[in-house]
Amino acid sequence: MYPEVAVASLSDHIKDQSVVAEPMPAHIQPMLATLSELPGEHRPYAYEYKWDGIRALYFLEAGQWRVETRNLNDVTVAYPELADLAAGLEHSSAILDGEIVAMNEHGHPSFGRLSHRLGLTEAHAAARAVDTPVTYMIFDVLYLDGYSLMPLEYRERRGMLEELGLSGESWKTPPSFTGDGGPVLDAARENHLEGVVAKKLDSPYRQGLRTKEWLKIKIVRRQEFVIGGWTPLRTGAPVVGALLIGYYEPGKGRDGRRLIYAGSVGTGFSEHDRETLARLLESRQRDTNPFAERVPKASVMFAEPELVGEVEYRGWTGQGHLRQPSFKGLRDDKEPTDVVREDIVKK
Amino acid sequence: MARAIWSGSISFGLVNIPVKLYSAVKDHSVHFHMLHEKDGVRVRQQLVCPLDDEEIDRDEVVKGYEISPDQYVTVTGDELESLTPKASRTIEILDFVGLPEIDPVYYQHPYYLVPDEQAGRPYSLLVAAMEKANRVGISKFVMRDKEYLAALRPVGGVIVLETMHFADEVVQASELEGEMPELKEPTEKELKMAGQLIDMLAGSFDPEQYHDDYREAVMDLVNTKAEGKEYVMPPPVKEEGKVIDIMVALEKSLARAREQKEEAKPSKKPAKKTKAHARAG
Amino acid sequence: MKDTIDIEVEGQRLQLSHLDKVLWPATGFTKAQMIDYYTRIAPVMLPHLTGHPVTLKRYPDGVDAGYFYEKECPAYHPDWVNTATMPSRNVRQRVNFCVVDNAPTLVWLANLASVELHTLLSTGEDLDTPTWIAFDLDPGPPAGVLDSAWAASRVREVLADAGLESFAKVSGSKGVHVYVPVNGPATFEKTKGLAHAIARQMEQQYPKRVTSMMRKDLRGGKVFVDWSQNDPHKTTVAAYSMRAREKPFVSAPVTWDELDEAVRHKHAEELSFETWEVLKRVEDQGDLFAPVLKLKQKLPE
């Protein structure tokens, strides 16, 4: 798994003066990644899985620990389960960088699930820690025992992070891979993760900067959905503004299934497509809502759920709606009743 | 086979119809006995007097009505017995009212009234008359030391006796006023949507379609154990378990993806003579 | 009720859907019939499609109900559907076209209600080299197909003077296409320049009947000699493709004699071909457009 290069320890770095003693920074602005395509196989990057949660920095000093988010908010009280991490760190001071995630009932990281833990006071956090547990995925070590590790190359910091061996009930150190990022991205896609992050092996930690040394490669998902309605682009005009889409799930409804609303998609069509779609949907007009639940939109025109469209998207919200959907065309080769939510079914 | 719970007679005016009472419902809940785990013996319950600290007998027990905290008026079984209007085993019909007038909140328990052999004619006459007039008989009767209010209604040629709550047993909805949040008038649109929702689930009442899933699961467990099979309890999935699961799954996916990449290497693929698709598709 | 069927074409499995859907309401021509036509014409049509990136015009509800113009090959295509990528500096602008080089692909597209198939003039292997020059003769009303046919013959004459042989097909609507096979080194700059020059020459020679100007308001009863299609990004409707007209017409190859005869006798209907007529023609006469694929011609300076 890791390096072809022998990793130096902190004392080695102290000796060769690649790290300098300094007081622990009170706050750290996390290093940010740029959206990108996957780098070519031979580019000098390491690949890590991208976890959909909240970015969090863990500070330990003189036996006291705290957690801060990207906006430098102190959220320590909201995550009491991270207290034991301090004990696990056999160092007097440390700063860790990572992501706090919560898993949904399908075993995938879900930001929606995590949202129940945001903004909690101490009183509620303890109770919530039981019903919505979180895990801190640690991916960087920035400070250790009085020395800042930020000037070190990523590969060095990574080696030291792995030496720490941080793994507990509520925290883990997920792996990092060199070589071809393609299989890593494939694995991420298969397991419904957001994507991967590519980190340049020789990059120091650049506080608060979004550089090309860290790249985020997001996985685009795609599946068919049934079109059950639309909203016009302009009032009264027979031009589609957005399509209301959904998928079938077994349940109380006609033929033992119901059409679940998955959100609306308003991009991916040309002006011409918007007109053509409006015509196709108008000829399938119906007064009643074909979806199993109320659709939270104004001026909706419902349609018989006969048309199926292919939609690209980047994930699901906690409410079961698509994130950043984009229309990719009609699929008249697919039967509407065969359309189901794929990331759950294909397990 | 069904067993009559009680017998008496329906009376109204000069009419007297001897009947037997059968329960119209049967309990389907799964009943468990309490056993001592160690030796599988049925446990028995003891009545213990905490003051004397010893077990006492049932006939050393009297009923006490708490008129104020820790202050009781005792009543013996005999005294209660004397209150029961014995002679009257009659279901006395007091009024005939329209069925829809009775709010279902009053209903308790349904029974079937089956006429004695010689009472067939007056029974069916009563059924026919109630059906024609489209009315049900409100009556009172006493069964096992308790007085009941009941509705007698004709259902498919049989009289169903439905015991009812007395008025003072029913909590009026107005008493919930303090508990209810402010209810706003729905908008036309909301009403329309709600109506659509109702339409979507509208159907005729088919009791067969509703199942007691919990009971079925319990019986499933019992039967599986009876067959000697191990019942596998699904382990409660802890969060750490989920995290470990996904990390293992990722490892497997990665191994597979790398393997596939290796396989694709050596021979040059003929068909696609064009650029490869972008991977993130 | 599902009207789907699983079939096998040249060893590839496909599922066809909505077979009974009427795509040409005027005659009741169904999707099943369209798929049938494309399946039967495949041996003759495929050579004209092979290698050329194709754009689709899909009419899911029939020719009267609106269409989708699709350049990007649907992402859900089976893996035996080949594609060609048009490079672009902007990653987002790169287009993956479908390429129809096998019968199952043609059937698959027909199942998607791609009534019309339009191809680039170059191939996926060499997007910068046009394989033929195309003239699209499009009549401005009240001019009709006979006027297009007449203009086509004149274009042929001009081309012959330049030492170039040409071949014609009806557009399936009111126009006529004239193709000049090149099949050798050439650039779009050259072919477009040549076509433009010829169009202008035609305009000079027959000002009352021909125009080389795109603007529709300048056409008024004249035939527009469209030279602009000789462009790496433009497409022309493929030979043997169906058209989304009122009837299931086809862009069918014709002989010069047929064009001249029709003009002489003023028989416009002789230049309209529905699917079964095309199948019969191919049986009797073979692929009239075959030379467009084989003939190598050198372009004059």
pLDDT in tens, B136-169: 999 988 887 678 899 999 998 899 999 999 888 8
Which tokens is B99 given? 């069925």
C263 lies in the same domain as C135: yes
Cβ contacts (< 8 Å) between C61 and chain A: which residues? 279-280, 283
Q: CA dist C115 to A228, C59, C119, C140, Å?
A: 26, 7, 13, 24
| pLDDT higher than 80, residue A184 | yes
User: Looking at residues A138-148, what average pLDDT do you find?
Assistant: 94
Q: Is residue C92 part of a domain?
A: yes
- Does C208 lie in the same domain as C73? no
Is residue C245 domain-resident? Answer: no
Token duo for residue C288? 């009239």
Boundary (domain end) residue, out of C126, C148, C175: C126
A242 vs B183: which has the higher pLDDT: A242
Does residue B227 register a pLDDT over 70? no
A205 DSSP assignment: P
Q: What is the mean pLDDT of the segment spanning B232-245?
A: 65
Instruction: Look over chain A and give the mean of its residue pLDDT values, rounded to a whole number.
Output: 87
- Do the Cβ atoms of B246 and A185 come within 8 Å? no
Question: Looking at the structure, do residues C122 and C142 belong to the same domain, yes or no?
Answer: no
The beta strands (E) that lie in A114-256 are given as 135-144, 147-148, 171-172, 176-178, 195-200, 210-218, 221-232, 240-250
Other beta carbons less than 10 A from residue B41's beta carbon: 10
Specify whether C197 is located in the same domain as C259. Answer: yes
Residues C46 and C133 reside in one and the same domain:
no
- A218 annotated active-site: no
Report whether pLDDT(C244) > 50.
yes
Lowest mean pLDDT among B113-127, B217-231, C216-230, C251-265: B217-231
> What are the tens digits of pLDDT across the range B23-56?
888 777 777 778 877 777 778 777 888 777 778 8
Q: Are residues C103 and C87 in the same domain?
A: yes
Q: What percent of chain C has pLDDT over 90?
A: 72
Distance CA C139, CA C222 (A): 6
Neighbours, chain C (3 or more CB pairs < 8 A): A, B
Position B235 pLDDT exceeds 50? no
C267 belongs to a structural domain: yes
Residues in CB range of C226: below 8 A, 6 or more apart: C135, C136, C137, C138, C199, C214
Query: Residue B76: is its pLDDT beyond 80?
Result: no
Distant-in-sequence contacts of C40-46, Cβ < 8 A, 24+ apart? C40/C279, C41/C240, C41/C278, C41/C279, C41/C282, C42/C103, C42/C106, C42/C107, C43/C103, C44/C240, C44/C282, C44/C286, C44/C287, C45/C106, C45/C238, C45/C239, C45/C240, C45/C241, C46/C100, C46/C101, C46/C102, C46/C103, C46/C106
- Nearest chain B residue to C91 by CA distance is B278
Residues A217, A195: contact at Cβ < 8 Å? yes
Q: What is the pLDDT of residue B232?
A: 52
CA distance A45 to chain C (A): 21
Q: Which fold does the domain A221-345 belong to in CATH?
A: OB fold (Dihydrolipoamide Acetyltransferase, E2P) (2.40.50)
Mean pLDDT within C173-192: 94
Which pLDDT score is estimated for A140? 97
Prior bond of C142 cis (ω within 30°): yes
Task: Scan for tokens 């027990």, then name that residue.
Answer: B61
CA-CA distance, B176 to B170, in Å (whole number)? 12
Average model confidence (pLDDT) across chain C: 91
Q: Which residues of B touch C124 (CB under 8 A)?
A: 273-274
H or E stretch at B65: strand B63-68
Using an 8 Å CB-CB cutoff, list chain C residues near A334.
Answer: 17
What pLDDT does residue A236 have? Answer: 74
Closest alpha carbon to C149 in C287, C257, C282: C257
| Tokens, residue B112 | 């079937």
Which of A292-296, B80-84, C48-52 shows the lowest per-residue confidence on average (mean pLDDT)?
B80-84
Give me the pLDDT at residue B174, please: 75
- Decide if B253 and A172 are in contact by the 8 Å CB cutoff: no
Say yes or no: domain A10-218 is CATH 3.30.470.30.
Answer: yes
Of C160, C177, C141, C158, nearest in space to C259 by CA = C177
The band of B188, judged by pLDDT with boundaries at 50, 70 and 90, is: confident
Q: How confident is the model at residue B276 (pLDDT cuts 50, 70, 90)?
A: very low
Q: Residue B249: which of A134, A191, A222 has the nearest Cβ?
A: A191
Does B239 contact A133 at a Cβ distance shorter than 8 Å? yes
Cβ neighbours of residue A77 under 8 Å, at least 6 residues apart? A120, A121, A122, A125
| Gap between the Cα atoms of B52 and A270, Å rounded | 90
How close are the terminal C-alpha atoms of chain A, in Å? 27
Q: Which two tokens stand for residue C257?
A: 């004699």
DSSP state of B219: H
Q: How far is residue B260 from each of residues A183, B256, B257, B264, measured CA to CA in Å?
A: 9, 6, 5, 6
Mean of all residue pLDDT scores within chain B: 77
Per the structure block, which two tokens stand in for B90? 């009659």
- Give B50's DSSP letter: T
- At residue C247, does pLDDT exceed 60? yes
Work out how many domains chain C is built from and give that number.
2
CATH number at residue C178: 3.30.70.3300
Best of B238, B239, B245 to mutate (most A CBs within 10 Å, chain A): B239
Report pLDDT for C238. Answer: 96
**Chain-chain contact of B250 with A169 (C-beta, under 8 angstroms):** no
> What integer pLDDT is reported at residue B271 of this predicted model?
44
* Residue C106 and residue C149 in one domain: no
Residue B133 has pLDDT above 80, yes or no: yes
- The torsion angle over the Cα atoms of residues A268, A271, A273 and A276, rounded to 10 degrees, is 150
Cβ(A217)–Cβ(A34) below 8 Å: no
Report how far residue B265's alpha carbon sits from residue A180's, in angstroms, rounded to the nearest whole number.
Answer: 13
CA triple B169-B170-B176, angle to 5 deg: 125
Reply yes or no on whether the pLDDT at A153 is more than 90: yes
Tell me which residue in B272, B278, B281 faces C82 most closely, judged by beta carbons.
Answer: B272
**Which single residue is written with the structure tokens 């009239």?**
C288
Which pLDDT score, from 0 to 100, does residue A333 have? Answer: 79
- Shortest CB distance from A283 goes to which of C4, C61, C74? C61
Report CA B96 to chain centroid distance, whole Å.
29
| Residue B12, pLDDT above cutoff 90 | no
Q: Which two tokens stand for residue C43?
A: 């041996």
pLDDT of residue A1: 40
Residues C32 and C134 in one domain: no
pLDDT of residue B277: 35
Cα–Cα distance, C92 to A159 (Å, whole number): 37
Q: Which residue, C110, C126, C142, sits at the end of a domain?
A: C126
pLDDT tens readout for residues A33-78: 998 888 988 899 999 999 988 899 999 998 889 999 888 888 888 8
Question: Phi and psi of A128, rounded to 5°?
Answer: -65, -30
Nearest Cα neighbor of A143 from A9, A19, A48 is A19
Predicted pLDDT at C1? 43
pLDDT in tens, A21-45: 899 999 999 999 998 888 988 899 9
Partners of residue A242 on adjacent β-strands: A231
Q: Are residues C61 and C186 in the same domain?
A: no
Question: Which residues make Cβ contacts (< 8 Å) with residue A219, sequence separation at least 6?
Answer: A185, A188, A189, A193, A194, A195, A314, B280
Secondary structure (3-state) at C199: helix
Name the phi and psi angles at C223, rounded to 5: -95, 125
Give the angle B217-B218-B224 at the CA atoms, nearest 5°.
90
User: What ipTM score was computed for the predicted complex, to two decimals?
Assistant: 0.73
State yes or no: pLDDT of A244 exceeds 60.
yes
What count of Cα atoms within 13 Å lies in the side-chain half-sphere of residue A251? Answer: 12
Both tokens assigned to B133: 């007039």
**pLDDT bracket for residue C96 (50, 70, 90):** confident
- Of A273, A276, A329, nearest to C74 by CB-CB distance is A329
The pair of three-digit structure tokens given for residue C95, joined into one six-digit string = 């287009």
CA C292, CA C182: separation in Å to the nearest integer? 8
The pLDDT, as a whole number, for residue B69 is 65
Question: Is the full-model pTM beyond 0.90?
Answer: no
Same domain, C114 and C146: no
- Assess if residue C225 is contained within a domain: yes
Same domain, C30 and C163: no
Looking at residue B274, its pLDDT comes to: 41
Q: State pLDDT tens for residues C211-233.
A: 888 776 666 789 999 998 998 88
Instruction: Give the integer Cα–Cα distance in Å for A280 and A304.
Output: 11
* Chain C residues close to B277, C-beta within 8 Å: 83, 85, 96
CA–CA distance from A271 to each of A265, A327, C68, C69, C96 (Å)?
A: 14, 13, 11, 11, 21
Residue C37, domain CATH: 3.90.920.10
Dist CA C230 CA C194 (whole Å): 10
**Which chain A residue's Cα is nearest to B253?**
A187
Q: Are C270 and C262 in contact (CB under 8 A)?
A: yes
Amino acid type, B82: S
Q: Is residue C243 part of a domain?
A: no
- Whether residue A333 and residue C70 make contact (CB cut-off 8 A), yes or no, is no
Choose the mutation target among B187, B240, B261 for the interface with A, i.e. most A CBs under 10 Å.
B240
- Shared-domain flag, residues C141 and C290: yes
Residue-level pLDDT at C29? 94
Looking at residue B56, its pLDDT comes to 81
DSSP type of residue C90? S
Q: Which of C4, C68, C113 sits opposite A276 (nearest CB)?
A: C68
- What type of residue is B246? I
Rounded distance between C-alpha atoms, residue C68 and residue A286, angstroms: 23
Of B29, B32, B27, nearest in space to B225 by CA: B32
Give the span between the Cα atoms of A238 and A244, in whole angstroms: 15
Select the highest-mean-pLDDT range: A8-22, A260-274, B52-66: A260-274
Phi then psi for residue A19, to 5 deg, are -125, 155
Domain span at C65: 5-126
The three-class DSSP label of residue B68 is strand
One-letter amino acid of C182: V
Q: Residue A270 has what pLDDT?
A: 84
Return the pLDDT at B68. 66
Residues of A with CB under 8 A from a CB of B: 37-38, 49, 102-103, 107-109, 133-135, 169-170, 172, 174, 177, 180, 182-188, 190-191, 193, 217-220, 222, 252-253, 288-289, 292-294
Q: Is residue C60 part of a domain?
A: yes
Contact C104, C12 (CB under 8 A): yes
Residue of A164, A260, A218, A226 whose CA lies nearest to A36: A218
Looking at C126, C143, C169, the residue that finishes a domain is C126
Could you tell me the two tokens for C224? Answer: 């527009």
Q: Is residue C239 part of a domain?
A: no
Q: What share of chain C is helix, strand, coil (3-state, %, to 5)?
A: 35, 25, 40
Helix pair angle (C31-49, C275-285), 10° resolution: 40
Tell me the C-alpha distance between A144 and A90, whole Å: 10
Flag whether pLDDT at C255 surpasses 80: yes
Query: What domains, with CATH codes, occur in chain B?
Result: 6-27+89-168 (2.40.290.10)
